[in-house]
Amino acid sequence: MTYSPDLLDREVRLAITHLALLTEWTIGEDASLRMLDLPGDSHFPDSRHPDELPPVTDYEIGRRVSTLESYVHAQRWADTVAADIQQLRFVVEGVFPPSVVAEYEAEKADGEWEHVPAPFEEGAGDVPLGYFHNGLMSQLVDLAAARLKVDQDEPLTMGEIALLTGKRDATVTTTAYRKVFPTYEHDGKRYAATADVLPWLVQNGYLPTQGRDEPMDSAPIPEHIEDYLFVPVARDGSIFAPSCASGGRFTIGEKGSETRFDSYTDALEALQRMPTPRWRRPGPKGVAGTVAGVRFERLARSRVEAA
């Protein structure tokens, strides 16, 4: 899971805006404005634009998101994690139901905004709100819930193991069938006990949670923690890797509005900011072609460099 801070911040702002509008429509405008406790010079009452809200950490939802970010990305335990997961999931499912997400996806389908302006940049107020939603809060909650199951020594599904390692579900399922770690089936789903799969998780990049009163000691701590990258993956499973360079440069973006970079890292960061990442890569016959990413995966740098 990767994103720029602006992407998650804007999605949280969008959720707050949804909640404010729901309050206004059900209780009244005064109630929604009192709920937001806006400063006197705020433009939000007139614009109802998410960028006009105060910092998201002024609100409980922003603080909960921050706690789960720290839990997922920095492996820092907090006693509120379980409650934060439960309550944020309730918010996400309430304000971003499938029907709303479908409308947002339709807004982005034409690809009109290849570059989305940052808050308060020129044109930021014209960006359709669909571009504020990227499913990041839902992904964050799912990742946190999977990590919590490890910390509470609960069985993991193959999908949860895939989430925790950044691998595809099919890869984890194949690994399980090869009996790399023991699994069992229950109600049509395959599970692995945390104690059985934890060594394999750690070997594949999972970092145990720090700061718990009773840390689990069954997982070996690797002597070397490998660097990981979040890279876009095309529909055929290929990734954006250093081997995509042509003449020592990386070409990204849609045909006709492409950008070139000398640095792989700079090109990867630019792809991570795109609504739909696109890059040129050598084809099977040596002819370069443009592909679009359908998801991001967390992969070891060594694997990316070898691709």
> What confidence tier does 208 reach under pLDDT thresholds 50, 70, 90?
very high
Are 198 and 155 in contact, with CB atoms under 8 Å apart?
Answer: no
Which pLDDT score is estimated for 227?
66
Its pTM stands at: 0.67
Q: What is the pLDDT of residues 77-130, one digit of tens each?
A: 999 999 999 999 999 999 999 999 999 888 887 767 777 777 777 877 788 888
| Res. 2 pLDDT band, cuts 50 70 90 | low
pLDDT at 215 over 60: no
